[in-house]
Amino acid sequence: MQYIQRIESARIKKYLENFPAVAILGPRQCGKSTLARHLLKDYPGAIFLDLENPEDRMKLRDPGLFFHLHAGKLICLDEIQRIPELFQILRSVIDANNSNGQFLILGSASRELIHQSSESLAGRLVYQELTPFQFIETKKESLFGFQLRGGFPRSFLAVDDEISFQWRRSFISAFLEQDLALLGFGYPPETMRKLWMMCAHQQGQLSNLSRLGQSLGVSHTSVRIYLDLLRDTYMLRILQPFDANTGKRVVKTPKVYLRDTGILHALLNIRSIEDLLGHPVFGPSWETMVIEQLLAGWEGDYGFYRTPAGAEIDLVLEKKGKIIAIECKASSVPIVGRGFYSAVEELEIDHAIIVAPVVDKYPLKNGVWVMPLNDVIIELFPEH
């Protein structure tokens, strides 16, 4: 399969030079193993162990001895959530060797699910999240094509849209029926599938736990647990309200997004760009893609802003005292309402951007700019 250079590569190498262990976390099949194998080429003698492979797991029957025999080499442990008890051993090995760049750890669950790492390797381990492909990495001209297929490598690189669609449908089934069980969760796959489908139909809307619970026949507490699990396996983004001190009464209920638009479209049986353009989810899908592309590299605070009076911004970014408003419009002639301008005024926004499928950026009014996604990414992340 074609290798696409990942933006995070340089940062991970820098981390390996300065920390004993680096953890790359992200959803299943997002390219963690491929990236790691590519990085290991620069480290002579490096070892890659896939902990889902019985042969590689056998090598760790006595992990202390194995790590001792290979001291001085970079060891990559893929799918670390399969053997979380390794973290206790890694701590003693790291301290005994007392050097940087000892372990590269890959996991398909958040640090909260792999909780032993935060307890055992505090001060020794740094985390880097890896998302599916970012649009700027693909160097492709078809933004709508990227939106349709999403960023999972096998979906994006498929020979045609139908093969891409079938891969995503298979991914969904495998995730629900196998991956969650491997993480130790015995939730009924059909219940989780129904919840996932309901989230897809309500993409980008405020979460209503009681209503979801009624539809599923479970308590709102169970719904919260299910949503948190999907969040911690990188399938959902639970976008919190932006913490603004405006004195205004604001909506405090979070929004829920399926993070990958390709998975969203597979759940909704959207197979082609034509299907997507005519579907009610087109706007929320565009919003999702923009938000995910921008948050992939953002290191400051963020959230959405909404008041009961109607002031609203899709995404607010804040870093070093500077506040940026991002509004997502899936139209080549975007129009924003009074609520957006009210929110810009209330938050004293420094820079307001409408991200739309346009070719060139241009000013709208009152300091608001309409910009294509690539221009926004380059402006916010010039290092890319």
- Do 163 and 74 belong to one domain? no
Chain CA centroid to CA 260, Å: 8
Give the pLDDT confidence score for residue 116 in this predicted structure.
63
Domain count for the chain: 2
Token output for 65: 């001895």
Full residue range of the structural domain in which residue 280 is found: 135-380
Residue 137 to residue 153: CA distance in whole angstroms: 11
Tallying the residues shown for the chain, one arrives at 384
Q: Quick one: pLDDT band at residue 248, thresholds 50, 70, 90? A: confident
CA distance 219 to 236: 20
pLDDT at residue 1 in the model:
62
Residues 299 and 218 occupy one common structural domain: yes
Neighbouring C-beta atoms of residue 348, cutoff 10 Å: 9
The residue that leads in pLDDT, 186 or 159, is 159
- pLDDT score of 104: 97
**pLDDT at residue 240 greater than cutoff 90:** yes
Q: Domain holding 291: CATH number?
A: 1.10.10.10
Per-residue pLDDT at 118 exceeds 70 = no
Tell me if 1 is assigned to some domain.
Answer: no
Task: Name the band, by pLDDT with cuts 50, 70 and 90, for residue 302.
Answer: very high
Instruction: Decide which of 160 and 366 is more confident.
Output: 160
147, 121: one domain: no
Considering the domain architecture, whether residues 99 and 178 belong to the same structural domain is answered as: no
- Render pLDDT for 160-201 as a digit per residue (tens, 0 to 9): 999 999 999 999 999 999 888 877 777 788 999 999 999 999
Q: Which pLDDT score, from 0 to 100, does residue 181 have?
A: 81
User: Which of residues 67, 99, 129 is at a domain's end?
Assistant: 129
pLDDT digits 0-9 by tens, 323-339: 999 999 999 999 999 99
- Residue 87 CA to chain centroid, in angstroms? 24
Whether residue 28 lies inside any domain: the answer is yes
Do 356 and 239 lie in one domain? The reply is: yes
Question: Is 4 inside a domain boundary?
Answer: no
Outline where DSSP puts E strands in the chain.
21-25, 47-50, 75-78, 103-107, 125-129, 236-239, 255-258, 301-306, 312-319, 322-328, 351-355, 362-363, 368-371
CA distance 151 to 146: 7
Please check whether residues 222 and 100 belong to one and the same domain.
no
Asked if pLDDT for residue 141 goes beyond 80, the answer is: no
Structure tokens at 255: 């929004």
Q: Provide φ and ψ at 87, rounded to 5°.
A: -60, -35
Same domain, 74 and 103: yes
284 half-sphere exposure, CB direction, 13 A CA radius = 20
Please tell me the predicted confidence (pLDDT) of residue 384.
62
pLDDT of amino acid 332: 93
Check whether 312 has a pLDDT greater than 90. yes
DSSP state of 51: T
Whether residue 288 is found in the same domain as residue 219: yes
Best CA proximity match to 303, nearest among 268, 274, 334, 343 = 343
pLDDT tens profile 53-88: 999 999 999 999 999 999 999 999 999 888 888 888
Domain boundary among 110, 129, 148: 129
Instruction: Please state the rounded mean pLDDT for residues 93-104.
Output: 94
- CATH number at 31 reads 3.40.50.300
* Among 49-53, 137-141, 151-155, 340-344, the least confident range: 137-141
Beta strands per DSSP E along 93-135: 103-107, 125-129
Higher-pLDDT residue of 138 and 121 is 138
**Backbone dihedral angles phi then psi of residue 20, each to the nearest 5 degrees:** -65, -35
Mean pLDDT, all residues of the chain = 92
In angstroms, rounded to a whole number, what is the distance separating the alpha carbons of residues 296 and 308? 29
**Same-domain pairing of 301 and 369:** yes
CA-to-CA separations, 280 to 171, 275, 360, 363, 367, in angstroms, rounded: 24, 10, 26, 28, 30
What pLDDT shows up at residue 297? 85
